[in-house]
């Protein structure tokens, strides 16, 4: 990531566009109407940020009004074709304002919305010398992965099998890892103790089970980012079998 991409005003623009894309992927009836408002907000924020942080234009009373902000940015970014600015102006005056102030039931087609988004991203890219679309995609992927993980972990936490019902130590470790994502044998042993389970793993046994033993290591993986042990896809499958009462 470049220095420009790390700046806080860029992050704010990215987050707003991520919010718009999340809305676009939902089944909310007027999702595109709401997305237009967010995209326009990102555009205006980008214009103000460009003037303040890139062009070093000191804001005055006139800059309180959107039309003056856009006019100033357009005058500085002369390499952007006039059709792009007219496109953005059309969506603001004829569509966004109508959505925001007047017609709650009106909407916009997916194609038209993507056209507006492309125009806004082009201006942002030109103004800051970045690839805003890729930044948005990367952030959206992180958000979706986080939401997916939270959903899975919530599901697991609700229906974890009782340790006393399991006969194999490896299965008990599977449940323990799903429950607490341990960093060490001590973490897992503390969990077993709280649950009234007699099993205790020595450090070597912990490492063998989670990382070395060919019969069990594929059930787990170590997250370098979080520095914890988690269930692999195979481990989650084994957990689902245990949840259904299937012990091998």
Its domain, for residue 34, covers 4-148
Same domain, 121 and 170: no
Has residue 154 been placed in a domain?
no
51 with 13, same domain: the answer is: yes
pLDDT tens digit string along 155-179?
555 567 888 889 899 999 999 999 9
Across all residues in the chain, what is the average pLDDT?
Answer: 85
Given 148, 168, 191, the domain boundary residue is 148
The answer to whether residue 143 scores a pLDDT higher than 70 is yes
**pLDDT surpassing 70 at residue 107:** no
For the cut 50, the answer to whether the pLDDT of residue 101 exceeds it is no
Q: What is the pTM of this model?
A: 0.57
Which range, of 9-13, 133-137, 199-203, 215-219, averages the lowest pLDDT? 215-219
Q: Are residues 118 and 172 in the same domain?
A: no
204 and 143: one domain?
no
The set of long-range contacts for 28-37, using a CB threshold of 8 Å and a minimum separation of 24, is 29/107, 30/104, 30/105, 30/107, 32/107, 32/108, 32/109, 32/110, 32/113, 33/99, 33/106, 33/107, 33/108, 35/113, 36/91, 36/95, 36/96, 36/99, 36/108, 36/113, 36/116, 37/96, 37/99, 37/100
What is the total count of domains within the chain? 2
What's the pLDDT at 113?
87
- On whether both 40 and 139 belong to a single domain, the answer is yes
User: What is the spatial distance between Cα 118 and Cα 83, in angstroms, rounded to a whole number?
Assistant: 13
Of the chain, the percentage scoring pLDDT greater than 90 comes to: 48
Q: CATH number of the domain that 222 lies in?
A: 1.10.10
Q: Tell me how many degrees the CA angle 217-219-223 measures, rounded to the nearest 5.
A: 85
pLDDT on residue 99: 53
The DSSP annotation for 42-93 comes to: HHHHHHHHIIIIIS-PPP-GGGGSHHHHHHHHHHH-TTS-HHHHHHHHHIII
Pick from 115, 148, 181: which residue ends a domain? 148
Give the mean pLDDT of 132-148. Answer: 84
Residue 44, domain member (yes or no): yes
The structure tokens listed for 200 are 């205790």
pLDDT score for 96: 64
Same domain (yes/no): 197, 103: no
* Same domain (yes/no): 16, 99: yes
Residue 248 belongs to some domain of the structure: no
pLDDT in tens, 45-94: 999 999 999 999 987 887 888 889 999 999 999 999 999 999 898 888 76
Query: Which residues neighbour 84 within 8 Å (Cβ) at sequence distance 6 or greater?
Result: 119, 122, 123
Phi-psi region of 106 (alpha: psi -120 to 50; beta: other; left: phi over 0): beta
Q: Is the pLDDT of residue 148 over 80?
A: no
């Amino acid at each position: 990531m470049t220095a420009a991409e790390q700046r806080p005003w860029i992050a704010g623009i990215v987050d707003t566009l991520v919010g718009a894309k999340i809305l676009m992927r939902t089944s909310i009836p007027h999702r595109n109407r709401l997305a237009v408002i967010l995209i326009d907000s990102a555009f205006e924020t980008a214009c103000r940020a460009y003037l303040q942080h890139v062009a070093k234009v000191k804001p005055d009373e006139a800059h309180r009004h959107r039309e003056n902000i856009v006019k100033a940015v357009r005058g500085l970014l002369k390499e952007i074709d006039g059709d792009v600015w007219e496109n953005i102006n059309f969506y603001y005056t004829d569509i966004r304002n109508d959505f925001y102030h007047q017609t709650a039931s009106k909407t916009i087609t997916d194609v038209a919305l993507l056209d507006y988004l492309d125009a806004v991203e082009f201006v942002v890219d030109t103004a800051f010398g970045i690839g805003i679309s890729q930044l948005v995609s990367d952030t959206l992927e992180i958000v979706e992965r986080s939401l997916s993980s939270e959903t899975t972990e919530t599901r697991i936490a609700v229906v974890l099998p009782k340790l006393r019902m399991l006969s194999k130590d490896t299965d008990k470790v599977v449940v323990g890892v799903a429950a607490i994502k341990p960093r060490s044998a001590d973490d897992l042993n503390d969990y077993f103790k709280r649950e009234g389970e007699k099993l205790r793993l020595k450090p070597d046994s912990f490492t063998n089970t989670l990382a070395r033993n060919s019969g069990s290591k594929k059930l787990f993986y170590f997250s370098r980012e979080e520095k914890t042990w988690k269930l692999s896809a195979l481990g989650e499958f084994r957990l689902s079998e245990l949840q259904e009462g299937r012990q091998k």
